[in-house]
Amino acid sequence: MDRGIQELIACKKGVFFDMDGVLYDSMGYHADAWSNAFQHFGIDFPPEMVYHNEGRTAQSTINLVYQQNEERDATESEIGQIYSKKTELIEFFPDAIPFKGAKELMESLKKQGIDIWVVTGSSQEKFLDALLQDFAGLVSEEQIISGKDVQHCKPHPEPYLTALKKSGLKSGEVVVIENAPLGIQSAKAAGMFTLAINTGILDDRVLWESGADVVVKDWKDLLQKI
Ligand code: MG
């Protein structure tokens, strides 16, 4: 399998990266911020549930929690209040730093002429701006599909199908690197080979069951296999 990953990527034309939990060691911050934001409004949403639902847009996450707790979607006002709180709380955390190895892999892909795209459910300018700065020369604004570019968030295939359409690549020409169950489901529904990197707190089994073609335990593990 180790040699397989290297050969697999080398014969592809593009690699689509998820952002949080793949390029950035940021999921712990998001999990705490979401959980505390809901708690502020008296709603229980433990950090582990954030990991299970990672990849949804903010609106989808808030609606899901209201469906589970009150069997209805959240109102516009509730969505606005909770999202503002989450955005406010995440400001207290230090800036997320890219995982060691992410840039190294991108540089190697660039040398091989392999296209790099980022497909994220996030819409927060702060994080998208940081992405452009931290990966300057490797990721451009045109190569980012964010939560603002789609109607349906992960696990729907639309985010990855949008990246396929914009890149002009076919599903068989791309490898997706994801860390989250819903992201893996989205990429698989779009027909792409999906490599899961388990940087979070969920068991590997959850990623395999979401349809991952390969699961590696972290960036070090991934780079050793390339
Ligand atoms: Mg992720």
Residues 82 and 130 in one domain: no
- State the distance from the centre of ligand 1 to the C-alpha of 84, rounded, in angstroms: 21
Asked if residue 223 has pLDDT above 90, the reply is: no
Q: Residue 162 belongs to what domain range?
A: 2-26+96-225
Distance 47 CA to ligand 1 centre (A): 14
- Distance between Cα 40 and ligand 1 center (Å): 25
Stated pTM of the model: 0.91
What's the CA-to-centroid distance between 183 and ligand 1, angstroms? 7
Q: Based on the domain organization, do 217 and 107 belong to the same domain?
A: yes
Cα 102 to Cα 17: distance, rounded to the nearest angstrom: 10
Query: 180 CA distance to ligand 1 centroid (A)?
Result: 5
- 47, 64, 90 — which closes off a domain? 90
Domain check: are 138 and 50 in the same one?
no
- Do residue 165 and residue 78 come from a single domain? no
Name the pLDDT band for 1 (thresholds 50, 70, 90). very low
30 contacts 191 by C-beta, under 8 angstroms: no
As to burial, measured by CB atoms within 10 angstroms (0-12 exposed, 13-18 middle, 19+ buried), residue 153 is buried
What is the per-residue pLDDT for 6?
75
Number of domains observed in the structure of the chain: 2
Domain stop point among 72, 90, 108: 90
Span from the CA of 129 to the centroid of ligand 1 (angstroms): 17
| Cα 157 to ligand 1 centre (Å) | 15
Distance (angstroms) between ligand 1 centre and the Cα of 53 equals 10
The answer on 33 and 120 residing in a single domain is no
Return d(Cα 202, Cα 87) in angstroms, integer.
Answer: 24
pLDDT digits (tens, 9 = 90+) for 185-221: 999 999 999 999 999 999 999 999 999 999 999 999 9
| pLDDT digit string, tens, across residues 59-97 | 999 999 999 999 999 999 999 999 999 999 999 999 999
Question: Which of the listed residues 73, 90, 107 is the one where a domain comes to its end?
Answer: 90
Neighbours of ion ligand 1 (CB under 5 A): 18, 20-21, 179-180
